[in-house]
Chain A
Amino acid sequence: MNAISEMTDLALLEQVEAKQALQQLNAKFSRAMDRMDRCLMVSLWTDDGQIDWGAHKGSAKPFVIAATATDANLERSFHSVSTEYFEVDGDAAIGEVSVIIVSIVLENGSKIDRLVGGRYLDRYRKEGGQWRIAQRTFVHDWNINLPSSANLEEGMFAKFLKGRRDKQDPSYQLFGE
């Protein structure tokens, strides 16, 4: 790592821009997962992107398809990322990002609230001006499984907009497709 005092103004600005762009890349990965947005998900990876995520090991392409395909056993998902840490070296970077994945899954006919805590260990590459994921390893740290007790439709909760895992989600009115 270069000491900040040894970097030119332009190099410092490029570091800050890269780290902000990598934070946005990670937020968009959550959007792509939680909205099952395949076009967005594809755009986040380098063409030779590699993944190690549970059963998915190797090319990211099968993962991209599977993660954005309808899953009757996954009702809702919420990938909250924080604690983003990046080291940038020119057009390459590494990162470690914390994620808490909250989902409602159907298991043996029952709805389960599943909370999974983990981290993404990443390599990124800047191609054509865009930062993309070149390699992502998902590390599982903890999980909690409880009978679902969600109330999304009764009483006061009937009044709120609800999230959806498709283009009908209210966020598309803001961002467009």
Chain B
Amino acid sequence: MDISQRIRRAADYQAILEQMARYIQAVDRCDLELLKYTFHADGVVHFGIFDGNAHEFCDFDIPFIKENLSMGAHRFSTATIEFQSDTRAVAESYMLGNAAAPSPDGTMLNFPDNIRYLDVWEKRDGIWRMYSRGLVVDWNAFWPYSQREDAPFDEFRRGSRSSQDPAYALRVGR
């Protein structure tokens, strides 16, 4: 590769990592528009609970997690990215999540999980988006819910699963 191609490749690598981060942001903020932005319109997901068109998955997933989880926070890491061409890459990334949800008897549970995403990325019109994303579950646990809302926790700025989250204020005016 010449210098120009090497610079492009380094930027492509960075762009895929950023889209992986946007996917996490979108799920945690329940941001349907941002979630769809990470997939091509003809993209597909293989998620077990939903196999099919990626944008239809987004329409399904955001209401699903809003209804079933009282809290959800994801953190991705450990991305292996292999370029197959200048416009296509395959990737695996690890995800450590934490969520809270009521159990069938009504008591709240803390529900951490480890999963991996298996992706095909395609660059079209200069933007990297997923053509395909699969999901593999590696671990989960069900712990007693011990979250507190009293001091000192009530002093912190709180996240929101909506555009009310402080992250959106950061982008205003840019």
- Asked whether B10 is an interface residue with its Cβ less than 8 Å from the other chain, the reply is yes
Bound state CA distance, A78 and B3, in angstroms? 37
- Determine, out of A88-96, A133-141, A161-169, the stretch whose residues face the partner at the interface: A161-169
- Asked whether B96 is an interface residue with its Cβ less than 8 Å from the other chain, the reply is yes
Q: A31-B92, A150-B139 are in contact. Are A82 and B114 (CB under 8 A)?
A: no
Please report which residues of chain B, range 101-152, place their CB below 8 angstroms from some CB of chain A when the two chains form the complex.
114-116, 118-120, 134-143
Interface residues on A, range: 35 or more
Bound state CA distance, A160 and B113, in angstroms? 13
How many A-B pairs have beta carbons closer than 8 Å: the answer is 108
- Shortest Cβ distance from A156 into chain B, in angstroms? 6
Closest to B51 in A: A159
A162 and B138 within 8 A (CB)? yes
Q: A17-B10, A79-B78, A162-B137 are in contact. Are A102 and B114 (CB under 8 A)?
A: yes
Q: A171-B136, A174-B92 are in contact. Are A13 and B77 (CB under 8 A)?
A: no
- Asked whether B49 is an interface residue with its Cβ less than 8 Å from the other chain, the reply is yes
- Shortest Cβ distance from B42 into chain A, in angstroms? 19
- Asked whether A81 is an interface residue with its Cβ less than 8 Å from the other chain, the reply is yes
User: Which residues does chain B contribute within 8 Å of A156, judged by CB atoms?
Assistant: 49
**1/0 per position for B63-80, CB-CB distance to A under 8 A?**
000000000000101111
- Shortest Cβ distance from A135 into chain B, in angstroms? 21
A151 and B142 within 8 A (CB)? yes
A170 and B134 within 8 A (CB)? yes
B137 and A163 within 8 A (CB)? yes
User: Which residues does chain A contribute within 8 Å of B118, judged by CB atoms?
Assistant: 170-171, 173-174
- Shortest Cβ distance from B1 into chain A, in angstroms? 10
- Chain B: interface secondary structure? strand
- Asked whether A152 is an interface residue with its Cβ less than 8 Å from the other chain, the reply is yes
Please report which residues of chain A, range 7-23, place their CB below 8 angstroms from some CB of chain B when the two chains form the complex.
9-10, 13, 16-17, 20, 23
- Asked whether A148 is an interface residue with its Cβ less than 8 Å from the other chain, the reply is yes
- Shortest Cβ distance from A154 into chain B, in angstroms? 11
B77 and A80 within 8 A (CB)? yes
A113 and B141 within 8 A (CB)? yes
B92 and A152 within 8 A (CB)? no
Q: A13-B7, A174-B92 are in contact. Are A152 and B78 (CB under 8 A)?
A: no
Closest to B132 in A: A174
Bound state CA distance, A104 and B114, in angstroms? 12
- Asked whether A57 is an interface residue with its Cβ less than 8 Å from the other chain, the reply is no
Please report which residues of chain B, range 32-66, place their CB below 8 angstroms from some CB of chain A when the two chains form the complex.
46-49
User: Which residues does chain B contribute within 8 Å of A16, judged by CB atoms?
Assistant: 10
User: Which residues does chain A contribute within 8 Å of B47, judged by CB atoms?
Assistant: 160
User: Which residues does chain A contribute within 8 Å of B135, judged by CB atoms?
Assistant: 160-161
- Asked whether A142 is an interface residue with its Cβ less than 8 Å from the other chain, the reply is no
Bound state CA distance, A40 and B98, in angstroms? 30
B116 and A10 within 8 A (CB)? no
- Shortest Cβ distance from A62 into chain B, in angstroms? 25
